[in-house]
Structure 1
Amino acid sequence: VLVIDIREGVKPQTVECIGILKQYKIPFVIALNKVDLLNGWQPHPETMLMKSIGMQGERVITELETRLYEVVAQLNGHGLNADRFDRVSDYTKQLAVVPTSAKTGEGIPELLMVLIGLSQKYLEKNLAVDKQQPARGTVIEVKEEKGLGTTMDAIIYDGTLKVGDTLVIGTLGDPVTTRVKALLEPAPLSEMRDRRSKFAPVKEVFAATGVKITATGIENVVAGMPLRSCSPEGAAQVAGDIKQEVEEVLLETDAEGIVVKADSLGSLEAVVKLFREHGIKIKKASIGPITRKDCTDCEANLQHDPLTCVLIGFNVPILQQPSPSITVITGDVIYRLIEQFEAWVAEQKKRMQAAELDVLIKPCKIRLLRGYVFRQNNPAVVGVEVMAGILKTGTPLMKKDGNALTEVKAIQDKQENLAEARKEQQVAVSLPGVTIGRQLHEEDILYSAIPESQFKKYKDFRKQLTPDEREVLREIADIMRGQDPMWGI
């Protein structure tokens, strides 16, 4: 069941779910939820959905139809042909959309009816179980319970499980082989994971059912892991099959990349799939809380690629606070994790580019002001105007012939030392190794003497430069190519 808020329509997380459903070819129906929040909706919890809709005002019905077909149009944009469940003419070609309210219960009977009807008609072979076969299931939750110790809530989807059976369960390492000590069934219509639910001991359970299992040695089992019952002699073979199944998700496939943790095997599979679809490399993917080892694995990326020094946690707690060199991004919505990661990478790239730019000689163009020669040499001190770019202390300067003459030893404005001067500023600069009236004259135009290697680097940062900085670089290139036509190319 794919749940969509009728007021918000198809969101990015909905698109993620659609992609996963399509990839694994999973048949589904859509619950268009929160109809009770439509302005003016009058709830009728004990009434069938179509009758309840008919009892609404005309304006409410119009809004329901409008919002419903807005969602239908959005789904169509993702290649899905959908319609309201009572208007679907061919369930093999159209998706059923059932308006519902989880709060009032309206539409829930119809949703169950559509699910059961479609399952019986089209998934009959998939629903077939063999009670004579060993049990196959999935762990839903592992927890400590008073009087019982460590227990597992599981869904048995095939076969039969009995007290005393040999049970093999997947873990992050080698599978656990144990024996079933007790089986506890929840009371009818109760939520198995609710601690207030009542359980009754039973000798055996049949698929498909939820059951609480008590056994020894299951402390390292995590949610989402597969479980199988078998004969004691077949335990080794089953353990090998389960380990291979788990490793298909937990495999470290990339030599470098981020570290991903999730709360269950199914969640991890979805996170890995969607991150890789965005071209994000994953060095390690595993289940459980964020630990010291995860932080160590992540920190190892720092020397090779700082942009992969990130630990992604989907719906998991942090047991070990990471060092400042590691970035941890946690949340319970996959697309938001991807957005946060991509935003972090973009910000880091900007900082890295800024750091690289900062060590380059800044492009600048200055003019020596007439009547502002304060000292002719040793060093020469003269007033200048910054015509373009940024003039910084230490900047080497050249004339229009391309020959470097001097560098800016110091910059002052009103007897205050400055680290830099920007366009249209008039400042005094000290220039060692030159004499005003010989090598330099009033009204001379000087450029920063940028080495060819740095000029080439500026091509990578073109977008970060101002228009006048780009123009100065063009003029510098023209000057230098007068001596070497291939300069900077």
Structure 2
Amino acid sequence: MAKKLRNLICTVVGHVDHGKTTILDQLRGSSIASQEAGLITQNISCCELPLKGMQKVCKAIPEFKNIKIPGLLFIDTPGHMAFNNLRKRGGSLADIAILVIDINEGIKDQTLESIEILKKNKTPFIIAANKVDLISNYQSKSESILQDIEQQQDKTKETINTKIYEIVGKLSEHNINSDIFNRIDDFTKSIAIVPLSAKLEKGLAELLLVLCGLAQRFLEKSLNVDVTKEGKATVLEIKEEKGIGLALDTIVYDGNIKKGDTIIIGGLESPTVTKVKNLFKVEKKLKSIEKTEAASYIKLIANDTENIIAGMPLIVSSKENLETNKKKIQEEIEEVLIETDKEGVIVKADSIGSLEALIGLLKDNNIKIKKASIGDINKKDISLASSEENKLYKVILGFNVKTQEKTKEVKIINKDIIYKIVEDYKDWEEKENKSSETKALENLARPFIVKVLTGCVFRQTNPAVVGVEIINGTLKIDSKIMNESGKALGEVRTVQLDGENIKEAKRGQQVAIALPGVTVGRNLFENETILSDITENEFRELKERKNFLDKEETNILKLVANIKRKTDKMWGI
């Protein structure tokens, strides 16, 4: 066994235009400017920064000499798919993350989504509070970001601190403790915030120091890998590359991969077994290599990769273990492509990583899933969703996919921000529940209190017709009424407002009501208060739906129950 400390895999996430790529560009530029060959490996999405490169960036920080991590493998995530596809069985492919926040704009929707996924994957992270240079009257004065801030004008310094603590406050709303990095005593309890300006190259050294220091202190054990064993990797993207054909952008996180190796790549129906034809390291141009060790970013060329999906696991396998490994890798895929609950929503996503992230969030919110798969929303999905008896499950939730069929039978929520899918579904569910409850309440007697108006007896009996005012609640035709002693007075035959028949009257309205079986002066009197005479079953149903009753209606229910229980202590219980 040849264990050694591997590169730290760090994903850079955050809201679009907050400066993720600029930070990496400056790290690349800092190293290239040193004019030392082989110091940096780069491409659009990945940036490998060896220890020598980090030492160049951090030359002004003496503490950096204690760092032993051989290098950093940065992965820029311009889209959600790339972020979600940084996956391996049991969690995230990334050891740690940098969450980039524009200090001037603060936390945005994509920032919140990044936080949710990081929390879900239990990925530790630090925060780069970028673009301090855009704060009014900011002037570059010192190489150290902390000294630089300290030397600003009082108003500028106050603005920077205010904006940092606005981020701290917003994060606390999501149960995340954070503070500027030099004020943290226990990094296991608070997220470190590093203010910086990628444009001015301020704070990058402090960012690397905090990042590597935390990794070396808390993650060193997991970074020790056996580079002689068969490799494990994740396919990040599939791209057509000029001159080499279809290439798999691959992150190797354990062991090694070499030319000629037999590899197994997970698939939707079955795994793909093929051989590595070529491996390329991405420097200023593609460089063919014989072998790569963890942790590294490579372009892998193999046959039969046309149908490979981003986010799929890839492993090297010996001939002897081929069938066992095929079974294992497919079990991993089937864990994500679920079809478990007897009822639930249909879930579609653009990649295995996206699907896994969405399923996790749905489960956290106790949303049942009938089927989850990869690909666009099609006729079969709509048919399956429309067959659900519960209308709350006649739903398809899609992440970053297209809808091939239009339908009015099924609710389709298709977004490119994962947590927004859950938010929108829960909002829709709440509205649907409220609508259903409102319809159910329409068929139930509603609680009310009315007062018989003085001088408004229009007919004394057969039926009695009197003017009343609705004090609280809703009075409907056919409602049963009683007096305050609980004595039944029959039911309301008709309700009239300004001479016109109406079906119901609400609080504050004065109407005339017809009451068969009532004689004014004998069992009903002017200025008397009368209430809804509801049955025990009606009381129980209303009680179950009390969230849809207003405060006054709830109070009337309590009053009715108290009156009824004077003669029957167990009434309504």
Instruction: Please tell me whether the aligned partners of residues 413 and 425 of structure 2 are also in contact (alpha carbons under 8 angstroms).
Output: no
Out of 142, 145, 150, the position equivalent to 2:238 is 142
Out of 386, 389, 393, the position equivalent to 1:303 is 389
Out of 470, 477, 481, the position equivalent to 1:393 is 477
**Structure 2 residue 129 is the aligned partner of structure 1 residue 32:** yes
Out of 480, 486, 489, the position equivalent to 2:570 is 486
State the distance in 2 between where 1:295 and 1:244 align: 27
State the distance in 2 between where 1:131 and 1:466 align: 67
| Partner of residue 246, structure 1 | 333
**Greater length-normalized contact order (CA 8 Å, ≥ 6 residues apart):** 2
| Partner of residue 99, structure 1 | 195
Out of 176, 179, 184, the position equivalent to 2:272 is 176
| Partner of residue 195, structure 1 | none
State the distance in 1 between where 2:115 and 2:484 align: 63
Which deviates further from its counterpart, 230-239 or 278-287? 278-287
Residues 321-352 of structure 1 show CA distances to partners (whole Å, capped at 9, x for unaligned) of: 45444252524253x44443443333333323
**Structure 2 residue 544 is the aligned partner of structure 1 residue 460:** yes
Residues 259-286 of structure 1 show CA distances to partners (whole Å, capped at 9, x for unaligned) of: 4444444444444444444444444444
Deviation, 1:111, is: 3.0
- Percent identity, aligned pairs only, is 38
State the distance in 2 between where 1:289 and 1:266 align: 15
Q: For residues 360-439 of structure 1, what are the structure 2 equivalents within 5 Å?
A: 360-364=444-448, 365=450, 367=452, 372-373=457-458, 377=462, 380=463, 382-388=465-471, 389-398=473-482, 406-431=490-515, 434=517
The runs of 5 or more residues in structure 1 that have no matched partner are 189-197
In the superposition, relative to structure 1, how do residues 292 and 216 fare at CA in structure 2: closer, same or farther (>3 Å)?
farther
State the distance in 2 between where 1:474 and 1:25 align: 48
**Structure 2 residue 424 is the aligned partner of structure 1 residue 332:** no
In the superposition, relative to structure 1, how do residues 434 and 239 fare at CA in structure 2: closer, same or farther (>3 Å)?
same
Out of 415, 422, 432, the position equivalent to 1:348 is 432
Residues 155-197 of structure 1 show CA distances to partners (whole Å, capped at 9, x for unaligned) of: 2234443454322111233222233455444343xxxxxxxxx
In the superposition, relative to structure 1, how do residues 315 and 105 fare at CA in structure 2: closer, same or farther (>3 Å)?
farther
State the distance in 2 between where 1:349 and 1:30 align: 40
Equivalent position amino acid for 1:223 in 2: A
Out of 300, 313, 326, the position equivalent to 1:213 is 300
Taking only aligned residues, the RMSD between alpha carbons, in angstroms, comes to 4.5
State the distance in 1 between where 2:212 and 2:119 align: 21
Deviation, 1:138, is: 0.6
Out of 238, 251, 263, the position equivalent to 1:167 is 263
State the distance in 1 between where 2:164 and 2:456 align: 78
Which deviates further from its counterpart, 32-41 or 138-147? 138-147
Instruction: Please tell me whether the aligned partners of residues 271 and 330 of structure 2 are also in contact (alpha carbons under 8 angstroms).
Output: yes
Deviation, 1:212, is: 3.0
Name the SS of the counterpart of 1:361 in structure 2.
coil
Deviation, 1:139, is: 1.0
State the distance in 2 between where 1:25 and 1:436 align: 74
State the distance in 1 between where 2:554 and 2:179 align: 54
State the distance in 2 between where 1:160 and 1:139 align: 15
TM-score normalised by length of structure 2: 0.66
State the distance in 2 between where 1:463 and 1:456 align: 13
Equivalent position amino acid for 1:99 in 2: P
Instruction: Please tell me whether the aligned partners of residues 385 and 410 of structure 2 are also in contact (alpha carbons under 8 angstroms).
Output: no
State the distance in 2 between where 1:60 and 1:406 align: 76
| Partner of residue 236, structure 1 | 323
Instruction: Please tell me whether the aligned partners of residues 368 and 441 of structure 1 are also in contact (alpha carbons under 8 angstroms).
Output: no
Deviation, 1:28, is: 4.3
Q: For residues 17-96 of structure 1, what are the structure 2 equivalents within 5 Å?
A: 26=123, 28-42=125-139, 49=145, 56-57=152-153, 59-65=155-161, 67-68=163-164, 84=181
Deviation, 1:225, is: 1.5
State the distance in 1 between where 2:355 and 2:445 align: 47
Instruction: Please tell me whether the aligned partners of residues 385 and 424 of structure 1 are also in contact (alpha carbons under 8 angstroms).
Output: no
Equivalent position amino acid for 2:465 in 1: V
Instruction: Please tell me whether the aligned partners of residues 295 and 326 of structure 1 are also in contact (alpha carbons under 8 angstroms).
Output: no
State the distance in 2 between where 1:168 and 1:215 align: 11
The runs of 5 or more residues in structure 2 that have no matched partner are 1-96
Equivalent position amino acid for 2:541 in 1: K
Name the SS of the counterpart of 2:439 in structure 1.
helix
Instruction: Please tell me whether the aligned partners of residues 483 and 531 of structure 2 are also in contact (alpha carbons under 8 angstroms).
Output: yes
Which deviates further from its counterpart, 60-69 or 232-241? 60-69
In the superposition, relative to structure 1, how do residues 178 and 321 fare at CA in structure 2: closer, same or farther (>3 Å)?
farther
Deviation, 1:232, is: 4.3
Residues 100-121 of structure 1 show CA distances to partners (whole Å, capped at 9, x for unaligned) of: 3344543335434554566567
| Partner of residue 313, structure 1 | 398
State the distance in 1 between where 2:186 and 2:557 align: 66
State the distance in 1 between where 2:487 and 2:184 align: 81
Instruction: Please tell me whether the aligned partners of residues 368 and 445 of structure 1 are also in contact (alpha carbons under 8 angstroms).
Output: no
Instruction: State the aligned residue count.
Output: 472
State the distance in 2 between where 1:35 and 1:165 align: 48
